[in-house]
Structure 1
């Protein structure tokens, strides 16, 4: 019986009211939320970068810089140690991770070994950081271990986190996130309207500033033509063309000694420079070195380039000065920010960038809201047309389901992305699937129940296991998607997973309580009828009668898809190939596609494609991978920005380097395999092995044909495509589970019925559910396809095709496989078999 106590009903509505209270702040402005009482939670969903604009940049600590610094440090330590002990040596060089030196007097070799052993001490690692080896004729080599370098990289990453945060804050941004990623990367996300190119320049440079003396024993050019002292090095100036200088390696003042750094403008010449003040230690060393070297040149070195080389006219005792630089006004201000924040321990290379303008984000929000509203209206109209008052109850539950989703995301502090909005719209269609399953089960139970109330209670109870089984498959796909690494895909996965949980909650608490009140107050005798009510009630389609033909046709289509995949391949997006995708909007008039193509081809960037992008003023530029590493990809995007910035605004910029694209490819492959394995293990546990095999074959069929669709249609295959494939796998198995669940019931009831007839009967009995659940999901996806915007259009197109494909495969692929693997040997024709056959075909339950 369907019964809800008053306390249980009150608890359900208290939870619903609490959800409204938690979700409501998302509709308020900042000022309105500030005026709320202190005891009320002010949680709200955080809009992702693709909805409010900003930049997502992944920086990688350059291991080569760490190796170089360690090598120079080790060479210097060896030199100082041997010189301090008066041991003569020759050939002191550093290469890769090895320092070699030859002791001139072989008799002093052991003394040198004992002297250098302290340099091999482990720095908190399990083994020595530096290995010391001795060869013949006084030859010694010190090898820096990979473990030591790896530890230094990790240390550099940790130190860089704080410095990067200070630089971004110094740049004037307040809404940003800096976090470590893996062993050598840093993820930076800055929200709002920003200059992404300037931000990258600010974060990439180590900004190591130091004061040296010019080695005037020879000119820089003479040093290049011959040999220069080992205590000096040749550095180039910032001029164009650059001038070589022979600079003493020893720095007596560094950026760490600067305690006050400000950009200043000369009121007469309008030239900009950096004014600095030194701490006590720096002031003392500067005064000492300049006093001892009057008439010589001072070298101010910035990131291994000579910024300026003034003559020392007198001792600098004030500890204050100015550094003139051939920088723009913005460049000088950025330099001041970098120097105040501190020098990075190594260069940070941009390996990935995803930037979105606030205007583009606002368009995405509007498109998502329109798609959501249209989806709700379409699904509501269909449910009310099908179930009248119960359809209204389903719509009320759907609205509360959406409120629960927003409340859950708010409490979790989740980030809502554009694919996340797509996930919510998809839930609009999938949420009422549970209502359809329940209502259609109630319709069946009416035939044998003693009262309508009993039929409603049995309908809810017996639909529970089917709904849970069906939604677990999609939940597993959502969990796998969460670990694929992309921020936007994670947003989709989170909303999908939360939506599934809230759907189960509302279906068996809120919906059930409302239906219980309706039954108790109105005392209905049957489900409300409509024109569509009995559309599939007496369906008696012989699906298995043509199974061989359909199976053959599907096999041929799958073979064509595999051949096309092997010969033509997928049109992979930059997520998997690397490269750049840039969307621009003309500042005046429409985008000139031909002119854009001509201008970009002159940049010699290889394969560049320009195409319209939703509106005459917009254009989309695709630049193939440059094949020259991470810096090459960034340089290509920088060239495009420089070429087009006067005539176009940049709506969206995505740059993916080869390291990231390779990892995304591996993650996507492993993600698909992991999702398939997890889902099929669940099916194997819940059903007999033949059902699991049928689900495997049907799933492979869907995946192969989906890939064929991408190949033959030329739709770009990217991370959102992976999300579409995994979601379709879950949805297809959702439908398959509904059919399998009914087959399992009928196998227990009709033990002698021939399997093909039993399968036909089971499919016909669940046909209304199969068709109607697909219809509601397709309506939501259609709204998303028409109004959701260009960014997710390929995703929704794939989903539309996939839902239809999944519905087909659950009938014509998953079911016939059970016959092939002889789930049950055919019972002999006889009176009992004929009776049961007739009973099932008429739709009765015996």
Structure 2
């Protein structure tokens, strides 16, 4: 029998050892979780530990791995919300904010258009009535000049506004292209705000994802109730524009009186000392959008209301060449340098941005409040006792399936069945280790995927062992029968698992929530089961055969 080389055996055994050690913490989930929480609290306190934190930290040895797979909502309990974002609210806000600009643009054409007044109109539509219809062409050109170009990840497109004439009225509304872009930005902004607020609450592995065109699914394990989650999402983030005193890498630097020491969001280890009193607050920010500078490079444009424009204009005029900090939730997200006086309450932030960077920064700038009202279509609270019931039921199913399979393998294949059972235990350890390593989430359907993996893992061993039996019936010697059994069963094992793996990929790609949980564990289980069935059992058989040197084998 041609045996694997020493380095291959060592590598296979090392992978098995890693799986057992890395998967071990999941058997002591609550103790390891307390240990991890204590470590995080001690680190946040600058290394200072209370007796309670030290006791929690001692629940698990520091020298052992402590990464855990995350438990999904159906296993831990928590809150589930399905929210609809009313994107039409953004249309109304954007169009209403344009009236001062339209009025000022038409005021310069007073001799041609006469008096201008705003006429009643539905939400999302602006109607401006001019006195002299003879000046309509000039008025339309002036108002169209207020529009920009729709900015998407693929570049610049058509105008952001549609301007038409109806009698003496100039009708202004967002173009269809801008509405689509606005919907996309609004959903992204809502997702970003919700994710930041939920993360700040210290919850573990929330699921926050878009569903359809205007809905957001929010699942937060470990939170008390759906109402508590709604209250958390409804809080207001704090956005300010502060004068920068200095920049430092010293986390313990003395900021001085009436100053703040704030970390940079994007620059690791960098801190800014800023004045405590902001120049302008986020309440004065009307809009921020991705755009392009005069050189065609991605940038971010922003605009304040009248009060904010006056304060910002006075500050920029007096501080040309000085940086100012854009602060969100006590983190500096950007610190651009003032290049010139910025009147009118609008400006542009330039830098080494990609289009995606400028889009994300614009989202953060607007993240002081949710961009539109959210209508909660579905809300559920799953108690921790129900989650524990799911865990207990999953344990019973997995253990029951494992015991039944183990008994069958030993009864059918004797010693080789024991080898298959050892590989099956290692397979389970590798699955848990992989989920822990990648931060995967185990759900109730995920447990079903593990149970399915148990059957698939031994199925590969059955193919190998039956092939060995066939070779023995053809009077092959034991060593040659074992070698041919593994070689000739390999193609069937690979084919069967590849097709199942493709199914898992499709489920993960098009599925959501529990379906993805099933697909993740199934996909990982396929990889680990092929590894254990083809490589681990072969190493075990080779070690046993090299030690005993039997003249015949019974499979």
TM-score class, shorter-chain normalisation, is 0.5 to 0.7
Q: Is the 8 A contact 1:66 1:149 kept in 2?
A: no
- Show the counterpart of 1:69: 93
- 1:436 equivalent to 2:440? Answer no
Mapped to 2, the partners of 1:522 and 1:65 lie a distance apart of 78
How much does 1:254 deviate? 10
Unaligned runs of 5+ in 1: 209-252, 259-280, 286-340, 530-846
- Show the counterpart of 2:177: 147
Q: Is the 8 A contact 1:204 1:350 kept in 2?
A: no
Mapped to 2, the partners of 1:115 and 1:473 lie a distance apart of 62
- 1:502 equivalent to 2:531? Answer no
How much does 1:396 deviate? 0.9
How much does 1:422 deviate? 1.1
Alignment of 1:379-458 (within 5 A): 379-458=405-484
How much does 1:51 deviate? 0.6
- 1:194 is paired with a residue whose SS is coil
- 1:44 equivalent to 2:68? Answer yes
Mapped to 1, the partners of 2:103 and 2:92 lie a distance apart of 16
Alignment of 1:392-791 (within 5 A): 392-528=418-554
Q: Is the 8 A contact 2:78 2:384 kept in 1?
A: yes
Pick one of 82, 97, 103 that aligns with 2:130.
103
Q: Is the 8 A contact 2:89 2:373 kept in 1?
A: yes
Distance 1:162 1:503, change over 3 A: closer
Mapped to 2, the partners of 1:132 and 1:178 lie a distance apart of 41
Distance 1:445 1:56, change over 3 A: same
- Show the counterpart of 2:25: 25
- RMSD (Å) for aligned C-alpha atoms: 3.4
Alignment of 1:102-501 (within 5 A): 102-122=129-149, 124=151, 125-134=156-165, 138-165=168-195, 167-168=197-198, 174-175=203-204, 177=206, 179=208, 181=210, 184-200=214-230, 203=233, 256=283, 342-353=368-379, 355-501=381-527
How much does 1:21 deviate? 1.5
Mapped to 1, the partners of 2:437 and 2:76 lie a distance apart of 20
1:581-609 CA distance string (max 9 Å, x none)? xxxxxxxxxxxxxxxxxxxxxxxxxxxxx
How much does 1:485 deviate? 2.8
Mapped to 2, the partners of 1:501 and 1:117 lie a distance apart of 59
Mapped to 1, the partners of 2:161 and 2:379 lie a distance apart of 37
1:111-156 CA distance string (max 9 Å, x none)? 4334323323335441111122346x54433342012122223333
Distance 1:2 1:410, change over 3 A: same
- 2:504 is paired with a residue whose SS is helix
Distance 1:374 1:76, change over 3 A: same
Please identify the structure whose Cα radius of gyration is greater.
1
Mapped to 2, the partners of 1:460 and 1:478 lie a distance apart of 26
Q: How many residues align?
A: 405
Segment of structure 1 superposing worse, 119-128 or 89-98: 89-98
Mapped to 1, the partners of 2:207 and 2:449 lie a distance apart of 27
Distance 1:121 1:38, change over 3 A: same
Distance 1:484 1:517, change over 3 A: same
1:160-206 CA distance string (max 9 Å, x none)? 34543465467x55436475537655443322142203433653699
Distance 1:203 1:85, change over 3 A: farther
Mapped to 2, the partners of 1:463 and 1:518 lie a distance apart of 20
How much does 1:376 deviate? 1.3
Unaligned runs of 5+ in 2: 37-56, 239-279, 286-306, 312-366
- Show the counterpart of 1:576: none
- 2:171 is paired with a residue whose SS is strand
Mapped to 2, the partners of 1:11 and 1:115 lie a distance apart of 73
Distance 1:18 1:165, change over 3 A: closer
Mapped to 2, the partners of 1:6 and 1:101 lie a distance apart of 84
1:658-683 CA distance string (max 9 Å, x none)? xxxxxxxxxxxxxxxxxxxxxxxxxx
Distance 1:46 1:450, change over 3 A: same
How much does 1:361 deviate? 0.6
- 1:59 equivalent to 2:88? Answer no
Mapped to 2, the partners of 1:187 and 1:510 lie a distance apart of 41
Distance 1:4 1:206, change over 3 A: closer
1:489-508 CA distance string (max 9 Å, x none)? 11111111111111111112
- 2:456 is paired with a residue whose SS is helix
How much does 1:420 deviate? 0.6
Distance 1:45 1:78, change over 3 A: same
Mapped to 2, the partners of 1:410 and 1:72 lie a distance apart of 50
Mapped to 1, the partners of 2:385 and 2:81 lie a distance apart of 20
Alignment of 1:827-838 (within 5 A): none
Mapped to 1, the partners of 2:149 and 2:197 lie a distance apart of 33
Bigger RCO of structures 1 and 2 (CA < 8 A, at least 6 apart) = 2
Distance 1:154 1:5, change over 3 A: closer
Distance 1:123 1:393, change over 3 A: closer
- 1:119 is paired with a residue whose SS is coil
Mapped to 2, the partners of 1:115 and 1:378 lie a distance apart of 80
Q: Is the 8 A contact 2:206 2:220 kept in 1?
A: yes
Q: Is the 8 A contact 1:120 1:129 kept in 2?
A: yes
Mapped to 2, the partners of 1:17 and 1:527 lie a distance apart of 28
How much does 1:379 deviate? 1.0
- 2:145 is paired with a residue whose SS is helix
- 1:88 equivalent to 2:115? Answer yes
Q: Is the 8 A contact 2:69 2:442 kept in 1?
A: yes
1:452-506 CA distance string (max 9 Å, x none)? 1111111111111111112222112111111233221111111111111111111
Q: Is the 8 A contact 1:157 1:180 kept in 2?
A: no
Mapped to 1, the partners of 2:207 and 2:103 lie a distance apart of 40
Q: Is the 8 A contact 1:178 1:186 kept in 2?
A: no
How much does 1:92 deviate? 2.2
| Structure with the bigger percentage of strand | 2
Distance 1:105 1:71, change over 3 A: same
- Show the counterpart of 1:693: none
1:684-724 CA distance string (max 9 Å, x none)? xxxxxxxxxxxxxxxxxxxxxxxxxxxxxxxxxxxxxxxxx
Mapped to 2, the partners of 1:511 and 1:467 lie a distance apart of 14
Distance 1:485 1:206, change over 3 A: farther
Distance 1:255 1:452, change over 3 A: closer
How much does 1:366 deviate? 0.9
How much does 1:40 deviate? 5.3
Mapped to 2, the partners of 1:117 and 1:11 lie a distance apart of 68
How much does 1:432 deviate? 0.9
Q: Is the 8 A contact 1:120 1:132 kept in 2?
A: no
